[in-house]
Amino acid sequence: MRAIGEPDWASLTLGVFVCQACSLLHRSIPHISRVKSVQDTWDASDVELMATTGNNAAKAKYEQKVPAFYYRPTHTDCKMLREQWIRAKYERNEFEFIEKQEPYSAGYREGFLWKRGRDNAGRQGSQGADEDRDPQRHLPTGQDWQPCGLQITYLKDNSTRNIFVYHSDAKEMIDWFNAIRAARFHYLQVAFPGASDEELVPKLTRNFMKEGFMEKTGPKHTEGFKKRWFTMDDRRLMYFKDPLDAFARGEVFIGSKENSYTVLSGLPSSTQGHHWNNGITIVTPDRKFLFACETEAEQRDWIAAFQRVINRPMRPQEYAVEAHFKHKP
Ligand SMILES: [Zn+2]
């Protein structure tokens, strides 16, 4: 068995070594990249090419002008992001010619995007959350329509608002994503003069620590369990009736162990009404939150995510966020 990330494959056209996961993406653009396993028999000319190019030389050429704000995907990112990064580098040569970066570097951008309405889920009748997650239910259908989505989340009056936008063209969606990052980057440069790019870039966009379905019950623990979509944005655990809902139904603040927050595997023995068996109890200074996961693996992942924030001491500004949560009805 080989680990993810080991460069067991080579692109003979580009002269770079790639891991197996990336080799699959390279295969989808055969006119740009012809991949071969390092286990195969190699011609002397192939060996020669790899020896004369190699990853560092390719990087110096294909990544010479990557803007600081541009999102560089990692192996945990979705296929769309990773494939577009490969295409941007090797097919469109965006980072060799600065004029090709205009769609996200110009400082303005306009165009059409599909946006999901505020209450779509309720009116269309919910038929199981997996179907609700499928944007095609609410967007045009057709052979050429393969929606690529982007979620924009922000705080309004201290509650979380989500906007979901879609485009059928992956490049368009990635250009929007990077245009938004560029705008935020320029804003932060003004707000924090003197901060380095390395300090600002991690603040541009972020991925959720964990998302997925769990069951939850209410504060009395006798309300019955309901299946909800959860997203965890650092210390904010939000839940939605539908994964694409604009507004969270509720939010739970998760503090640190110094402030009496704990996560436990399992549910209090008297608990009833859950359909899923892998329970999680979050103890906060005010109450216990009970959740149930469908699988043990999900339960393990959620507990690990909660544990990560609970083990980290709270920063001063996080106390202010916690106080806001406490004053919510
Ligand atoms: Zn890879």
Pairwise CA distance, residues 18 & 86, whole Å: 11
C-alpha 41 – ligand 1 centre gap (Å): 22
Distance set, CA 65 to CA 70, 81, 181, 183, 306 (Å) = 10, 19, 16, 18, 38
CATH number of residue 310's parent domain: 2.30.29.30
CATH number of residue 37's parent domain: 1.10.220.150
Q: Cβ(288)–Cβ(282) under 8 Å?
A: yes
Residue with tokens 């390719």: 58
pLDDT for 169: 87
pLDDT for 94: 97
C-alpha 18 – ligand 1 centre gap (Å): 5
C-alpha 144 – ligand 1 centre gap (Å): 28
142 and 52 within one domain: no
C-alpha 69 – ligand 1 centre gap (Å): 21
Structural domain ending residue among the three candidates 102, 125, 140? 102
174 and 237 within one domain: no
The neighbour count for residue 265, using CB atoms within 10 Å, is 13
Do the domain assignments include residue 25?
yes
C-alpha 5 – ligand 1 centre gap (Å): 5
Task: Name the CA radius of gyration of the chain, rounded.
Answer: 23
pLDDT for 124: 34
pTM, two decimals, is: 0.71
pLDDT for 129: 35
Do the domain assignments include residue 252?
yes
* Local confidence pLDDT in tens for the 329 residues of the chain: 455 667 899 999 999 999 999 999 999 899 999 999 998 888 898 898 888 888 999 999 999 999 999 999 988 787 888 999 999 999 999 999 999 999 999 988 998 888 876 544 433 333 333 334 444 444 444 545 455 777 787 777 766 677 878 888 889 989 999 999 999 999 999 999 999 999 999 889 877 788 899 999 998 988 899 999 998 988 999 998 887 777 788 889 999 999 999 999 999 999 999 999 999 999 999 899 999 999 999 999 999 999 999 999 999 988 988 888 776 54
C-alpha 300 – ligand 1 centre gap (Å): 26
Structural domain ending residue among the three candidates 160, 183, 203? 203
Pairwise CA distance, residues 66 & 90, whole Å: 13
183 and 286 within one domain: no
97 and 194 within one domain: no
Structural domain ending residue among the three candidates 175, 203, 231? 203
C-alpha 231 – ligand 1 centre gap (Å): 27
Whole domain around residue 231: which residue ranges?
210-326
pLDDT for 69: 96
pLDDT for 60: 94
Number of domains comprising the chain: 3
286 and 235 within one domain: yes
Do the domain assignments include residue 35?
yes
pLDDT for 279: 97
248 and 198 within one domain: no
Give me the helix-helix angle, 79-86 and 20-27, nearest 10°.
70
Do the domain assignments include residue 4?
no
CA 99 and chain centroid, separation: 28
